[in-house]
Amino acid sequence: MGRVRASEIHRPRGVTVSIIVHESEPLREVSAKLASNPAVRGIFVVDSRGKFTGLISSVKLMKWVHLELFGGKGRKAITIGEVFSLIYASKAKDLLRRDLSSISLKETDTFQSALDKMIEYEEDVIPVLDKDGTIIGDLTLNEVLSALQTEKHPYSPEDTRKEDGRQYRITKRCIPIQSY
């Protein structure tokens, strides 16, 4: 079966659950786009050339909204630096998560690499980029779960072995497949 690549399971542009906004777009417009599209889960930010520059996490946007609506009152454990960054945030680029190579995928990345990034950065939707850094789609947790249910799962035959008449999946420890 071979290794599954991100390009085999991600949604291409046009059928995504994400929106693309320009880095200079006002945050009020970004939040209005989100409010008018309840199915949207990701906010990807691009520069003037259309290249991916980062994403806005749902949590960061919620913190900004909380500050806008309630002045941050009632929030626990927020640093002064974070308060100031949120107070002065007015454009998409101000809330940007910029760890680009970490938070995005290339078409050639493996399924495992994609899932590792989603877990590590606690994002359930991440962009898939072409070799030039242009967004060509997104990969969502739903697609990951769907891939698990179909033939496009990340395990190849060499990832399993038989022992004592039982089939095992190779992980950090051996787990009988029948136990799933």
Q: What is the DSSP string of 101-136?
A: HHH-EETTSBHHHHHHHHHHTT-SEEEEE-TTSBEE
Q: Does residue 76 register a pLDDT over 90?
A: no
| Residue listed under structure tokens 């022992």 | 163
Torsion angles phi and psi, residue 8, rounded to 5: -85, -15
User: Does 162 have pLDDT greater than 50?
Assistant: yes
pLDDT value of residue 45: 93
pLDDT digits (tens, 9 = 90+) for 25-41: 999 999 999 888 888 87
Averaged pLDDT, 3-11: 60
Name the pLDDT band for 11 (thresholds 50, 70, 90): low
Average pLDDT, the chain: 77
Residue 103 CB partners (closer than 8 Å, separation 6+): 54, 55, 97, 117, 121, 123, 126, 127
Q: Which domains does the chain have, with CATH numbers?
A: 6-149 (3.10.580.10), 156-180 (no CATH)
CA–CA distance, 158 with 146 (Å, rounded to integer) = 22
Q: What is the pTM of this model?
A: 0.72
Structure tokens at 105: 């995928």
81: tokens are 């630096």
Please answer whether residues 125 and 58 qualify as being in contact, where contact means their C-beta atoms are separated by less than 8 angstroms: no
